Each structure stands twice: as C-alpha cells, then as structure tokens.
C-alpha cells in the first residue's frame, strides 16, 4: 500500500469519531470515503464538519464506496459483528476499545483476519498518549531503576440521563464503567509491567453519585512477573484525575496524562531531608515550566485534545502504509478482554440483583410538578413533614407571577 491512497470508512458517528476523522485528515495518503450510522442526522453533521463525501445507514451500504480500511467506532456490543463484516468485505480493521465483549468474539475476529491476510488492530489510545510513550522510554532507559509496582488513578463523570428514549449503555450495564475505563488501566499496567497473570477486581455502589450509575467505585489488583499493579477508578473523586505512578528501585515517576507532565523523585547524595527538599524544588520548577509550555501548545493547536487517540490513528495508518505490524496487535486486545470478561458478567448480574432489592441507604429524589398549585402545595407540605428530604419543585412562571 506504500504508493497508494487508501480509502477509509468510519462506522459510528459518536463523539470519538471526530477524533478519528481529525487525525485521518492529517494523513496525505488517506481519503475518508464515507461514514455509516443509523442516525443519519448525526452522521451528516460529522460529514459536513470533516468534508466526508458520503453518509450511509450501515456498513453494508458503505460497500459501494469500496473502502480498504474500516474504523469501528460503535458501542462495544457491536464491535465483533461489524469487524467481522468489514473483514468479509476485504477491509483492514481498526476497532475502538474494548476490542469486543468476549474472548471468544476476539478469537473469531483474529482468525478471520488471519485467514484473509488482513490487519486487525485495537485503539488502545492511552498507551499511545505522548506523555505515556515518553514515560515508557524513560523507564526503558533506567530512569527509575527496576520497576516494582505501578498505580493507575482515573476518575470521570457521565452526562446525566434525562429520561426518555433508550437508556444509554453506561446506565444499562453494571459493567460499562469498567469496560469504558478499566480497559485503559489494564493495558497501561501491562505496558509497564508486562503481561498480567492474575487480576482481582472489586466494585462498589457508593450511593453518593448518579443514582443511574450503580457501581461507581472500582479497584483492581494485578500480578505480573515483574511486579504488582493497582487501579482505582471513581466517578466521585474530584478534581478528575488521569495519572500513573511508577515505583522503581532508583526513583518514583508520576505521570499526569491531563497536564502532559512527568515528575521524577530520585535519590541524591545527601541526607534524606535534603533529598526531599531537592526533589520537591526541582519537580516544582519543572512542573511550572512544562504546564506553561503545554498551555501554549494547546492554545495554538500543536497539542491535540485526547492526544492518545490522534497518535494511535496516525501510527496505525503509517504502519499499514509501510507494510509494518500495527502498534497494538489484536492479541493485546484479546488479553485485556479475557481479564474483563468474567468481572463484567458478574457486575451485570449484580446490577440486576441490586435493582430488584430494596436499598435502605438510597435517599429518595422527588420532583413535584405544579408545586405552586392547590394540590401541589398540599403535597409539598406533606412530603416535608414526613420525609425531611430535599425536594425539587417545578412551578409555572405565570402562576408564580400571579
């Protein structure tokens, strides 16, 4: 494919599609020939933004554009079916994380690609984040000595569900939070520690966040041949964080993926108190300088939003264009799914049980419509007397004015 322009099709017009389209537009040997999504209005808006010539209701309909590479950017439940369909069309496939919902589906995808001589890769974008690549290079060069342990901290939030229509996936499945962010943590821990032998994941319902998101606190402990790793994912911790801490025999590295900054605490030939002072001073100066530079880079467009996605797309297509192996092999995606699969099933089942059992710890959230009417006022008064809980009141502006 070295001297050819490559026709690329996008399947799925959700928020991540814009990141893929933006990265593809920077590649001189790529033509985006179409985008497929059942929501043609959403797909049309993305097509207009990135000057994509065709909008299709399905991947099957996109076949008329004769794409050679398909990006599967849909929810996880459809990844396997769409990837297999694209492979049957003779297309190379770049699929968003998680690769699929089961290891068996991953095996079918890998076997189909092997039989057809096509490339199948997964977008493990956090591993391609520029600051993570820099940290891995520093570790390889001995910046921390021998790595003993790695911690991954990630917090997030989801847009509130306003009701009506279909329930979003992250509120429908108990496992979705882990499939969404836990997959990042698992492959990042592998990147620094090597293949994971065993992972023990626990999840909790705090009851303090969004009531539709049942399991909003997740913790995982992993074991590898090189050391141990821990992952903490929360939808309650603020400010939102996305950080790695690498513990080594000669230093401790802190990687802030939001600020795109690395700090390193090392030992110095001085008493322990002096070592701490020197380390804190050097890191403070480095942090101030680097954050200032990154602010300018972001403002001028040189630092892309979600830079890991941008780099992942570029590296995948450059490897494909040059006949090289993809930066993230499908087997890596399969290993992560094998770690996710059982805990995901358990969390889905536990959510079903959770929703059928009364929970004495959940506080009622009550909305009274027409709260300034005759009946509404009486109901509000009764609720205040009996529940002693905050109420949300919807009142008519006309009635209030009168």
* pLDDT tier at 394, thresholds 50, 70, 90: confident
- Residue 276 clears pLDDT 80, i.e. is over it: no
Burial pattern 185-198, b for ≥16 Cβ within 10 A else e, equals: bbbbbbbbbeebee
pLDDT greater at residue 300 or residue 216: 216
Structural domain includes residue 327: no
- Residue 399 clears pLDDT 60, i.e. is over it: no
Structural domain includes residue 207: yes
CATH number at residue 289: 3.30.360.10
292 by Cβ neighbours in 10 Å (0-12 / 13-18 / 19+) ranks as: exposed
Structural domain includes residue 78: yes
d(CA 209, CA 207) in angstroms, rounded, equals 6
- The model's pLDDT over 8-54, given as tens digits with 9 standing for 90+, comes to 999 999 999 999 999 999 999 999 999 999 999 999 999 999 999 99
Domain count, the chain: 3
Give yes or no: residues 346 and 383 share one domain. no
Give yes or no: residues 96 and 136 share one domain. no
Give yes or no: residues 109 and 195 share one domain. no
Give yes or no: residues 135 and 112 share one domain. no
Give yes or no: residues 138 and 204 share one domain. yes
- The model's pLDDT over 116-151, given as tens digits with 9 standing for 90+, comes to 999 999 999 999 999 999 999 999 999 999 999 999
Domain boundary among the residues 94, 123, 152 is at 123
**Residues near 140 by beta carbon (within 8 Å), at least 6 away in sequence:** none
Residue range of the domain that includes 163: 127-308+342-353
Structural domain includes residue 25: yes
What's the mean pLDDT when you consider all of the chain?
90
d(CA 60, CA 136) in angstroms, rounded, equals 40
* pLDDT tier at 300, thresholds 50, 70, 90: confident
* pLDDT tier at 376, thresholds 50, 70, 90: confident
CATH number at residue 31: 3.40.50.720
* pLDDT tier at 171, thresholds 50, 70, 90: confident
Distances (CA, A) of 287 to 193, 213, 263, 283: 26, 35, 7, 6
* pLDDT tier at 357, thresholds 50, 70, 90: confident
Structural domain includes residue 317: no
- The model's pLDDT over 312-348, given as tens digits with 9 standing for 90+, comes to 999 999 999 999 999 999 999 999 999 999 999 999 9
Percentage, residues of the chain above pLDDT 90 = 70
Domain boundary among the residues 70, 102, 123 is at 123
Domain boundary among the residues 123, 148, 169 is at 123
Q: Output the pLDDT for position 75.
A: 92
């Amino acid at each position: 494919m070295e001297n050819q322009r490559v026709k690329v099709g996008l399947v799925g017009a959700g928020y991540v599609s814009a990141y893929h389209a933006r990265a593809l537009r920077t590649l001189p040997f790529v033509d985006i020939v179409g985008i497929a999504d059942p929501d043609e209005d959403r797909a049309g808006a993305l097509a207009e933004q990135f000057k994509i010539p065709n909008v299709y209701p399905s991947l099957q309909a996109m076949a008329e554009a004769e794409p050679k590479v398909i990006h599967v950017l849909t929810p996880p439940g459809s990844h396997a079916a769409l990837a297999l369909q694209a492979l049957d069309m003779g297309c190379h496939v770049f699929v968003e994380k998680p690769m699929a919902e089961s290891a068996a589906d991953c095996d079918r995808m890998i076997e189909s690609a092997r039989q057809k001589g096509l490339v199948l890769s997964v977008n493990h974008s956090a591993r391609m984040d520029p600051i993570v690549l820099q940290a891995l290079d520093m570790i390889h060069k001995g910046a921390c000595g021998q790595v003993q342990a790695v911690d991954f901290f990630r917090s997030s939030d989801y847009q509130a569900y306003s009701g009506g229509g279909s329930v979003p996936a992250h509120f429908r499945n108990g496992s979705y939070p882990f499939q969404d962010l836990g997959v990042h943590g698992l492959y990042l821990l592998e990147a620094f520690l090597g293949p994971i032998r065993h992972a023990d994941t626990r999840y909790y319902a705090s009851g303090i966040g969004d009531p539709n998101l049942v399991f909003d606190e997740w913790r995982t402990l992993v074991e590898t041949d090189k050391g141990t790793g821990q992952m903490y994912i929360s939808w309650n911790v603020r400010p939102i964080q996305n950080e790695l801490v690498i513990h080594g025999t000669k230093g401790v590295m802190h990687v802030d993926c939001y600020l795109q900054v690395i700090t390193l605490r090392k030992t110095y030939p001085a008493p322990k108190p002096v070592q701490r002072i020197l380390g804190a001073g050097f890191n403070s100066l480095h942090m101030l300088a680097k954050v200032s530079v990154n602010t300018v880079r972001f403002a001028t467009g040189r630092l892309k939003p979600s830079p890991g996605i941008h780099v992942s797309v570029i590296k995948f297509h450059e490897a494909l264009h040059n006949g090289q192996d993809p930066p993230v092999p499908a087997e890596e995606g399969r290993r992560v799914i094998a770690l996710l699969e059982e805990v995901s099933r358990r969390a889905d089942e536990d959510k079903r049980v959770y929703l059928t059992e009364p929970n004495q710890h959940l506080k009622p959230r009550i909305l009274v419509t027409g709260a300034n009417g005759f009946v509404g006022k009486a109901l509000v008064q009764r609720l205040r007397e009996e529940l002693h809980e905050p109420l949300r009141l919807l009142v008519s502006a006309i009635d209030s004015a009168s």
